[in-house]
Structure 1
């Protein structure tokens, strides 16, 4: 089997860094809980909508890289890698959550009962749905996709252009379900993963098509963004029942690949590139631990003299607060990830995910 290391795709690497920042930002925006913020502030509404569902980027990147590395795919090696870098940190972070967030609830339950909720059933349900911590809903769903790797390997040998284009329309009609339902989320994000594979398989063709129809693609993205944005303020749109957020992010992903394609043909030493590259390298630990930091910072803010800011109806203030939360969360998350890595070295990947 060929083991030659494939050429690094710098644009994909950068987009992983962008994706983790935006995912953290969406959760920081969620700290500000005034229900009138979106209706009162176009700025907060715009940031809320734009930052929402960057999980799509993660799924697209995963599918893209699966196709990129398909030439050296080995089922046993693949499963072992995912177990070490995804399942193990998922279990580790879950244990932390059970102790520090769910202990009062769990301690009130019997260890086992055939007639009522018990500790074993409660923990099992949370582990299977990822409800022990907000971002963890993603893990049970992506694990199912990982388990489908042999099927995806088979599909990778076929032309995926029709399947990928069909998937892009499917995600508009089959809306993103409740995050507590991993199999329904699979039906939404599984096609997104397939779209990522299709983009890699037809990369040059897609880039040429975007170049030839750039303004049309940008218009399509703006349309997918404007419709859900406008629906927040206009009560009767003809197409408001369709779901545009995932398609919007797919188009944005393709546009980003086009504008960043030049990175793949030169040595990248700029400070901006290094920053996003670093965020990409540490994205897994940030993903697993950032919500714990957000919750703690929120708690500290709530008991401080500035606690009233959480419920502000001032969109500019809430937006600024979310940016401050974002910067603080990223800094603290990186520090914690580095400390854990310092103490546990290579074994840290079993606790918080791998630093590349």
Structure 2
């Protein structure tokens, strides 16, 4: 039990957290190819799907730090460190929604802004695309007491195979602005609510799997032992998903990310001492990890501004060659990541200058 109650964040988990946010940023900035083309399907399969890793690490850390769990204090901390920064960082998205609704794809445009605000904040995805995650993770927060209770009774992890079956067969719905044009505003909002709840059910396995790996950390060594098996499964599921999607069939991008999670965890733990020994590398990875939640909150705005300045679509078409287009999206990924870090650092320093006692995490997640 001492390992479960240990509150120190493990270095390999810290690095994993940083890599997870980089994959989320890559999923938004590095897609290229004509929509529906094989190239675009492959780019989506490679770069998108970081949410699965982010939810896994959320479950891992929840269990790892649950030694002194108490529901009221837990929810109080989540209000301060998750909900408040979500609300503060929503301000730019709300401004974009109201000032350039067409370019920003505000599907509630036309409603009174006062009516829009609670609808936007309750679902996340419209004003700041990645933050649909927040109402979804809030459901996990509300479920936390039940997860702890089931874990203590020794029954939670017995249901993992069932949870993974739900992940496999319950697809995440596609939800783009053009799909909602014929619906009423209320019906549009309900589509986003449904998206959040389906996301919760779809990713429930990854959250519980994170808890399982935290409670049974020695199993990560088994992942390393059988790493080539998991690597093979990752490539098989990724290839099948691309093939099926390209031919208009069933798709589920989370499957390959389950195996990517296992592989990344295995490699990071196995080479943990090596990473720690390279102090500059570990320091930079630690910075990304510490800023990960802040990057999550604001990178979509930086991405939107970047595309606005250079007149680019979210998914870059291949106009010359695939290597050159890949270079363009790679530059965009690096630029969005760096500007997100610099913006967060600047805001953090400004807040601390105004009030050195401020808890900047409650404003920007850092």
Q: What band does the TM-score fall into relative to the shorter chain? A: 0.7 to 0.9
Task: Tell me the residue number matched to 1:91.
Answer: 87
The 5 Å alignment of 1:277-288 reads 277-288=286-297
The 5 Å alignment of 1:162-311 reads 162-178=158-174, 180=192, 181-205=195-219, 207-208=221-222, 210-233=223-246, 235=247, 240-241=249-250, 243-264=251-272, 268-270=276-278, 271-302=280-311, 310-311=316-317
Task: Tell me the residue number matched to 2:35.
Answer: 35
For 2:100 and 2:231, the matched residues in 1 are separated by: 50
Distance 1:21 1:175, change over 3 A: same
Distance 1:86 1:7, change over 3 A: closer
The 5 Å alignment of 1:329-340 reads 329-340=336-347
- Quote how far apart the aligned CAs of 1:347 are: 3.4
Distance 1:87 1:66, change over 3 A: same
- What secondary structure is seen at the aligned counterpart in 1 of 2:171? coil
- Quote how far apart the aligned CAs of 1:140 are: 0.8
For each residue in 1:174-212, what CA deviation from the matched residue of structure 2 results, as whole angstroms up to 9, or x when unmatched?
A: 11234632112111122321121122223313532x345
The 5 Å alignment of 1:38-77 reads 38-39=37-38, 41=39, 45-77=41-73
1:121 and 2:111 aligned: no
- What secondary structure is seen at the aligned counterpart in 1 of 2:218? helix
Distance 1:310 1:335, change over 3 A: same
Task: Tell me the residue number matched to 2:362.
Answer: 350
Task: Tell me the residue number matched to 1:109.
Answer: none
- Quote how far apart the aligned CAs of 1:85 are: 1.4
For 1:96 and 1:89, the matched residues in 2 are separated by: 12
On the 8 A contact 2:92/2:301 being kept in 1, the answer is no
For 2:87 and 2:267, the matched residues in 1 are separated by: 38
Distance 1:105 1:150, change over 3 A: same
Task: Tell me the residue number matched to 2:181.
Answer: none
On the 8 A contact 1:11/1:260 being kept in 2, the answer is yes
Unmatched tracts of structure 2, length 5 or more: 103-109, 176-191, 353-357
Structure 1 vs Structure 2 CA RMSD: 2.8
Question: When the two structures are superposed, what TM-score results if normalisation uses the length of structure 1?
Answer: 0.83
Distance 1:168 1:201, change over 3 A: same
- Quote how far apart the aligned CAs of 1:68 are: 0.9
Task: Tell me the residue number matched to 2:135.
Answer: 140
Distance 1:267 1:298, change over 3 A: closer
For 1:298 and 1:267, the matched residues in 2 are separated by: 35
For 2:96 and 2:232, the matched residues in 1 are separated by: 47
Task: Tell me the residue number matched to 1:113.
Answer: none
On the 8 A contact 2:90/2:127 being kept in 1, the answer is yes
Distance 1:341 1:204, change over 3 A: same
Range that drifts further, 182-191 or 197-206: 197-206
On the 8 A contact 1:167/1:195 being kept in 2, the answer is no
Task: Tell me the residue number matched to 2:185.
Answer: none
Unmatched tracts of structure 1, length 5 or more: 107-115
On the 8 A contact 2:53/2:261 being kept in 1, the answer is yes
On the 8 A contact 1:160/1:201 being kept in 2, the answer is no
Range that drifts further, 292-301 or 145-154: 145-154
- Quote how far apart the aligned CAs of 1:280 are: 0.7
- Quote how far apart the aligned CAs of 1:292 are: 0.6
Range that drifts further, 57-66 or 199-208: 199-208
Distance 1:21 1:199, change over 3 A: same
- Quote how far apart the aligned CAs of 1:263 are: 4.6
Distance 1:285 1:213, change over 3 A: closer
On the 8 A contact 1:60/1:192 being kept in 2, the answer is yes
For 1:338 and 1:123, the matched residues in 2 are separated by: 28
1:16 and 2:17 aligned: yes
On the 8 A contact 1:63/1:196 being kept in 2, the answer is yes
- Quote how far apart the aligned CAs of 1:6 are: 2.7
- Quote how far apart the aligned CAs of 1:219 are: 1.7
